Amino acid sequence: MQGRTLGTQGLRVSDLGLGCMGMSQSFGPRPPREEMITFLRAAVERGVTLFDTAEVYGPFHNEELVGEALQPVRDDVVIATKFGFALDEDGRQTGVTSRPDHIRAAVDGSLRRLRTDSIDLLYQHRVDPHVPIEDVAGTVRELIEAGKVRHFGLSEAGVATIRRAHAVQPVTALQSEYSLFWREPEDEILPALEELGIGFVPFSPLGRGFLTGQVTAESEFGEGDIRANLPRFEREALAANLALVDLVSDVARRKGATVGQVALAWLLAQQPWIVPIPGTRRLERLDENLGSADLDLTAEDLAELDRASAGVQVQGDRYPEAMQKMIDR
């Protein structure tokens, strides 16, 4: 991998990062800790430098895992984490919160769990409608000045919020969903990011498994798998949405690649400041994903993929209603 720079703030990372959430939650039983530590270190050996976690993943388990695994190579990697959810004593989410005192406490906790003196990229996980974004950005600016944080990021933020935050503390990266399966950011988000010099980190770049070619109309999602509760994966929607996978598969066969590699290569081709963070817990899948950085899609390939994506009306919302309401517009 050649590496990319997220926006104009100088944060250099690998072409693809690694989303770490699934190592602690949302996709079935939690794998053995030692197995995931070995996996994370193998990712570093393969050239991955951007690792994405959050205090709420687990909660807390994921940051502890990432911190332990990456401590021996801390100077060689970029760790991104997030604040912004309120948790009760049992670790259950009770809503969003970005009060300045909460941000400071969250950062201190993340630093301890990540075994580091500074967080490379700190995201607000979800916009808090009750706290002015200027207060959030100002608090992060103070943490940057104190040396606890290097770069400021937002997640699932709308254009107006991005502009207001950026005016107080330059935003290095926005993290939101983007893929052949979900192209809404192209309407307003991507033009604004280009204008402001902000990098983009797409999560779920493979549509939560849809664009791997491994999900079928008969797929069942068991206990602990978030997809069992997502509208897009309900039986009727699932069958309809697989039409896009079939079209991407045509390109993949012609290129001698997998569906997932084509989907990631398409993302990489959109802008040089886009860095997807596909999540996986399997080494063979990691190697497959990283191979997308070497896959050359021609202008004709890209046009075919654009037509395929535009021609399939994706069925079902991204999230259940309660989670949909947390997305800033």
Please report how many Cα atoms fall inside a 13 Å half-sphere around the Cα of residue 287, on the Cβ side: 4
Asked if residue 126 is part of any domain, the answer here is yes
Nearest to 328 by CA among 185, 190, 163, 161: 161
pLDDT of residue 321: 79
Asked if residue 222 is part of any domain, the answer here is yes
For the segment 74-87, what is each residue's pLDDT rounded down to a tens digit? 999 999 999 999 99
Nearest to 57 by CA among 127, 110, 121, 115: 110
Neighbours of 96 (CB within 10 A): 18
How does the average pLDDT of the chain come out, rounded?
A: 96
pLDDT of residue 120: 98
Asked if residue 296 is part of any domain, the answer here is yes
Q: What is the CATH number of the domain that holds 108?
A: 3.20.20.100
Asked if residue 220 is part of any domain, the answer here is yes
The Cα–Cα gap between 326 and 86 comes to 13
For the segment 133-160, what is each residue's pLDDT rounded down to a tens digit? 999 999 999 999 999 999 999 999 999 9
Secondary structure class of 201 (helix, strand, coil): strand
Asked if residue 170 is part of any domain, the answer here is yes
Strand ranges (E), the chain: 4-6, 11-13, 18-19, 50-52, 78-83, 85-87, 93-96, 119-124, 149-155, 171-177, 199-203
Phi, psi of 4 (to 5 degrees): -140, 160
Say if residues 78 and 69 touch (Cβ distance below 8 Å): no
For the segment 13-64, what is each residue's pLDDT rounded down to a tens digit? 999 999 999 999 999 999 999 999 999 999 999 999 999 999 999 999 999 9
**pLDDT at residue 329 above 70?**
no
The Cα–Cα gap between 97 and 135 comes to 12
- Cβ-proximal residues to 62 (8 Å cutoff; 6+ apart), any chain: 20, 21, 23, 24, 25, 53, 54
Asked if residue 141 is part of any domain, the answer here is yes
**pLDDT at residue 172 above 80?**
yes
Output the CA torsion 36→179→6→136 (10° steps): -90
Nearest to 164 by CA among 192, 144, 191: 192
Say if residues 139 and 154 touch (Cβ distance below 8 Å): no
Tell me the mean pLDDT in the region 110-115: 98
Report, as residue numbers or ranges, the catalytic residues: 57
Poorest-confidence range of 143-152, 188-197, 212-221? Answer: 212-221
The b-or-e profile of 291-303 (16+ CB within 10 A means b, else e) is bbbebebeeebee
Asked if residue 329 is part of any domain, the answer here is no
Q: Count up the domains in the chain and report the number.
A: 1
pLDDT of residue 90: 83
Q: Which domain holds residue 52?
A: 4-324
Tell me the mean pLDDT in the region 195-223: 94
